Amino acid sequence: MIMREREVVIGHRLGLHARAAAKLVELSSKFQASIVLFRADPTNPVEADARSILSILLLSAGYGSKVGVRASGVDEEQAVESICEYLAG
Amino acid sequence: MTNERVIHGVVGSVGFAVGRAVRTFDPLFVSFNLKLRPDRVRKEIDRFRQSVEKSREQLKRMQAELRRASGRESSFLIDAHLLVLEDRLFVDRIIEKIETDSINSEWAIQLVSDDLFQAYDRLDDEYLRERRGDLEDIVRRLLHNLRSTPLPPFKKLPYDAILIGKIIPPSTLFELRAQRVVGLATETGSPLSHTAIMARSLEIPAVMGVAALPEVSSGDLLIVDGDRGVVICSPSEETQAEYKSRDRDGRRIKKLAGASASAPSVTEDGASVSLGANINFSEEVRSAIACGCESIGLYRTEFDFFREGRQPDEESLVADYSLVLKTAKGAPVTFRTIDVGIDQKSWDGINPNLGVRGLRFCLENTHVFKKQLRSLYRASVNGRMRILLPFVSTVDDLDAACEIIMDVRRELDLKRQRYDPRVPVGVMIETPAAAQTCDLMASRVDFFCLGTNDLIQYYLVIDRSDQSVVHLYNPFHPAILRCLYQVYALLGPTGKSVTVCGEMAADPPSAAVLLGLGFTSLSVNLGAYARIKRMIRSVSMKQLRELAGEILKMQKPKEVEDKVRATVYRS
């Protein structure tokens, strides 16, 4: 299966808090590709659906933490691109 | 035969009340759990979707109003709520639960949200952990919208209401006190929870820890019997008649008690006892003084401090505290600085009783602490104020607090603000550490208060809110008697006064023990004032001292209690 993946450091000062998470859901909904955020920490791997505000909040990605973005679908390239750009702040 | 049912709980606040049940909008209440017939599942999913749709419309309306009123900034908060309603992790999982388990929407919502709440509670990030509040809000809204018949608004209650719920926050109870709320029953909580304390202050009968409460629906006829600790559902005619006659007797006794409230609190053999009132809200000062209370022995300021759900500004605090002092008409008022972390934070799973509460919170949040101290000192010129520090556990903490107090006073001096420099500062003895070392603290402060609720909780290792151990809570435990005896012995030589203001002082037998042990200053909630006054006037101090000597030698709580009861209720 084809997919894109990239890592990004969260640049929002409060981390992925309610406002940033809401914006992220809005942004992700513009793409057709399925988009997953994941924490690269091997001892505690967590995945979040980028269109689910609850799962993003539960990812608990604070300021400066490293998060992976994975997308698969027709517009996966643009999706990963713009989401990483948003997360970097 | 009738369908009368008696459900057991524990006494929260004495007295009884007859009324109809009203469920409060508690975040996680569940009105009923049902297994559905397979052919009902489709309809149930439609019912759930309708509630989602209704919630969405309400939120959209709210958002539009907010936008008009305050611009885009705050209306954003609603976005998060709306997104939860579109969230597959939430909505789809609830629908799936309804389908696979064949259960009603309310139950499915609870199951799914409980999972999510647990996930939230595990987060390390405190800010994100707080976000569970958004989810609670949504859950409450959905549950509310699932009701076929909406609750009557509280303001127009057509009947005497008995509030029921998993938890009823103290603030809710307070806000509804002026309505026709005659009683309350909660699934969780104990006699020592703030809700129970509040119920006693307001003299509303309450039964806590009624596990079978979910079976009761709004509108059911109930009797809350706070004397026996039971709730009677659908009482028979006979039972109702029995309670009616008890009501008449009760009023007569109350009248007699009211008459003795103005009599001096002196024992039969002439020993005088100082008896003050505990209050939670500034409004209670007036009735305390009207009852003839000589002092406000404990004003728990956190309820008023956080009443609006946020911190008040300094000017309004100064105005509130000044009014309290003026209303007290020269009677001393002991302001306990905010003790947060008791009932308020119990959602997040960690045990707040062993964490950052009382003075610990204040030392970590000095801006809040300083604001309250500045307000207190600025108000102090309006009457006789005493400042009490809660939950002190080390001399270091006490020194740090005294240093902050000096900072605040220096600040006021610089600004040439008027305040009373002689305001006594005291320590609340409520941790074993403070009980053991109160003599070391004595040179630093002017007075002491003894908080027996927490002291007993920490001494006997009993979580005040844990239903499975609350029956073990016992003021007659020899460990408690020895501890009190020791505190009295340690403080005696220092000459500093001690006022006992826990529940132990409010129950006649245990209050008698306190007198016997040498504590001659008590402070109790208003509901208990008359009965403690009556107890004081009926006992002999000499006899109580002998009693104290005897019970200190006993081995078992039950022996102690029997002996004390036999002495106090000897007639």
Residues of B in contact with A55 (CB under 8 A): 87, 89
Active site residue A17: yes
User: CB neighbours of B78 closer than 8 A, spacing ≥ 6?
Assistant: B59, B62, B63, B66
Q: Are the beta carbons of A15 and B128 separated by less than 8 Å?
A: yes
Residue of A nearest to B127 (CA): A17
pLDDT above 70: residue A20: yes
pLDDT band for A4, please (50, 70, 90 cuts): confident
CATH 3.40.47.10 for domain B262-568, yes or no, is no
For B98-135, how does the pLDDT look when each residue is reduced to its tens digit (9 = 90+)? 999 888 888 898 888 888 888 887 777 666 666 666 78
Q: Looking at residues A6-28, what average pLDDT do you find?
A: 84
ipTM, two decimals, is 0.79
* Predicted TM-score (pTM) of this structure: 0.59
Which CATH superfamily, name and number, covers B38-146?
Answer: PtsI, HPr-binding domain (1.10.274.10)
Nearest CB to A18; choose among B87, B125, B131: B131
**Measured at the alpha carbon of residue B268, what is the angle toward residues B264 and B273, in degrees to the nearest 5?**
45
For B75, which residue in chain A has the nearest alpha carbon? Answer: A19
Amino acid, res. B392: V
Please give the structure tokens belonging to residue B433: 């550490």
Burial of B361 (0-12, 13-18, 19+ CB in 10 A): buried
Residue B158, token pair as written in the block: 């057509």
User: B85 in contact with A at a CB cutoff of 8 Å?
Assistant: no
**CA distance to partner chain B, nearest, from residue A57 (Å):** 7
Low-confidence ranges of chain B (pLDDT < 70): 1-2, 25-33, 66, 69-77, 125-133, 148-158, 169-172, 174-179, 192-194, 248-261, 307-310, 341-352, 464-467, 570-571
Which residue on chain A is closest to B73 by alpha carbon? A19
Residue A41 pLDDT grade (very low, low, confident, very high; cuts 50, 70, 90): confident
Tell me if residue B519 falls in helix, strand or coil: coil
Q: Closest chain B residue to A25 measured between Cα atoms?
A: B83
Contact state of A58 with B124 under an 8 Å Cβ cutoff = no
The rounded mean pLDDT for chain A is 86
Domain with CATH 3.50.30.10 in chain B: 5-25+151-250
- For chain B, where do the domains classified as CATH 1.10.274.10 start and end? 38-146
The CATH 3.20.20.60 portion of chain B extends over 262-568
Quote the minimal CA–CA distance from A14 to chain B in Å. Answer: 9
Q: Tell me which residue of B124, B113, B114 sits closest to B87, measured CA to CA.
A: B113
Any bridge partners for residue B16, and if so which?
B225
CB contact under 8 A, A58 and B79: no
Beta-carbon separation of B79 and A22 below 8 A:
yes
The minimal CB distance from A57 to the residues B77, B124, B128 is found for: B128
Two tokens, residue B308: 């609006």
* Test the A interface: residue of B128, B131, B135, B137 with most A CBs within 10 Å: B128
User: CB distance B77–A51 less than 8 Å?
Assistant: no
* Interchain proximity B87–A19, CB inside 8 Å: no
For residue B469, what are the contacts with CB-CB under 8 A and spacing of at least 6? B462, B463
Is the pLDDT reported for residue A17 higher than 80? no
Confidence at residue B178, expressed as pLDDT on a 0 to 100 scale: 62
How near does any CA of chain B get to the CA of A6, in Å?
24
**Cβ of B263 under 8 Å from any chain A Cβ?**
no
The residue of chain A nearest to residue B79, with distances taken between CA atoms, is A22
Report CA-CA distances (Å) from B265 to A66, B3, B140. 68, 47, 49
The DSSP-derived string for B264-332 is: --B-TTS-B-EEEEEESSTTHHHHHHHTT-S-EEEEETHHHHTTTSSPPPHHHHHHHHHHHHHHTTT--
Q: How far is CA A6 from the centre of its chain?
A: 10
Phi/psi-derived region of residue B480, left when phi > 0, alpha when psi is between -120 and 50, beta in every other case: alpha
| Chosen CATH of B5-25+151-250 out of 3.90.550.10, 1.25.40.10, 3.80.30.20, 3.50.30.10 | 3.50.30.10
C-alpha dihedral (B299, B503, B352, B465), degrees to nearest 10? -130
> Which residue of A16, A60, A63, A65 is the best one to mutate when testing the B interface, meaning the one whose CB has the most B CBs within 10 A?
A60
Looking at residue A2, what is its pLDDT?
Answer: 66
Question: A22 vs B80: CB contact, 8 Å cut-off?
Answer: yes
- For B4, the 3-state DSSP assignment is coil
Q: Which residues of B touch A25 (CB under 8 A)?
A: 83
Cβ contact, residue pair B123, A22, below 8 Å: no
Active site residue B501: yes
Q: Per the CB < 8 Å rule, is B80 touching A19?
A: yes
Tell me how far apart the alpha carbons of residues A5 and B520 are, in angstroms, rounded to a whole number: 74
Residue of B nearest to A51 (CA): B87
CA distance A64 to B216: 50
Question: What's the gap between Cα B283 and its chain centre?
Answer: 16
- CB-closest option in B84, B119, B125 to A15: B125
DSSP state at residue B426: E
pLDDT tens per residue, range B75-102: 666 777 888 898 888 999 999 999 998 8
Q: Which domains does chain A have, with CATH numbers?
A: 4-88 (3.30.1340.10)
Question: Catalytic pick from B194, B233, B293, B449?
Answer: B194
Chain A residues at the B interface, defined by Cβ less than 8 Å, are 14-15, 17-19, 21-22, 25, 49, 51-55, 57-58, 60, 62
Answer whether B80 touches A (CB < 8 Å).
yes
First CA to last CA distance, chain A: 30
